[in-house]
Amino acid sequence: MKINNPTFKAKHIASTKNVYKNITTNIDLYELSKRDKNFLKKLQAEVDCSKRLPDLCEYYQKRWQKVFNYAIDNALNAKDMKTYMAFSKNKPYGIMTVEENGNKLYLDSICDIPDKQGKRVNYTGSTLFCQLFKLADEVKAKAIELSAVPDGAINVVKKYEDKGFKIVNQTEDYVMMECSKFKLREQLNKLLSEISYKPVKKPEEINLNEVF
């Protein structure tokens, strides 16, 4: 479906499938642009983590909301930022923003998006990481860097270590981590052994507001 409209430019770049505890989940990956700002603003207005994550304490709800808002704000405003979103059954379940920094990639943000019933989709984060490592492979990045927030509802530092990242520095608020070029292909192959990733050969622009 090709829609010629200057207000959007999202592209369906891949269809993925994973099996976890005998449950098959299909996740579609989209690359967004600044012309998807209306969709992003609408999504930001709709996602209230205090309502979507009722089982978490108020502190963790606010931390989750902060990470989500940070991702949306950077997708809307930051220059030279790539934005990817994960959708399942026509619902958004994850967002990731990535910046090219010289010969390295910087993972600016990654966040699961619970739906209105509080449901999260298996392997959303891993599917977005798969896209991140594929991008690193394509641009021949020397490393991927990120700054983790250690006091959230999920132990993200441990999750990132499982993805090949190592701690390189730490402040009161952030843990700086890096995945070196020697680990990038290994991690990509590991994820591709768990996730069926099929790139869309000729991605077409779509209007996310109409489709989702």
Cα dihedral 115/108/185/181 (nearest 10): -160
| Residues 90/121, Cβ–Cβ less than 8 Å | no
Q: How far apart are CA 141 and CA 139, in angstroms?
A: 5
β partners of residue 143 = 104, 180
- Please compute the mean of the pLDDT values over residues 29-49 and round it to a whole number: 92
The answer, yes or no, to whether residue 54 has pLDDT greater than 60, is yes
**Exposed (0-12), middle (13-18) or buried (19+): which is 144, by Cβ within 10 Å?**
buried
- Mean pLDDT on 80-92: 92
For 79, list phi and psi in degrees, rounded to 5.
-80, 150
Using the structure block, give the residue that is written with the tokens 């600016």.
Answer: 108
Q: How far apart are CA 60 and CA 99, in angstroms?
A: 27
Judged on CB neighbours under 10 Å (0-12, 13-18, 19+), 153 is middle
pTM surpassing 0.75?
Answer: yes
Residues of the chain with pLDDT > 90, as a percent, come to 73
- Bridge-based pairing state of the strands 23-32 and 10-20: antiparallel
Residues 163-193 have pLDDT tens digits of 999 999 999 889 999 999 999 999 999 999 9
Domains of the chain, CATH where assigned:
10-197 (3.40.630.30)
Residue 140 — φ and ψ, nearest 5°?
55, 45
Q: Around 199, how many Cα atoms within 13 Å sit in the side-chain half-sphere? A: 8
- Summarize pLDDT for 116-135 with one digit per residue, the tens: 888 999 899 999 999 999 99
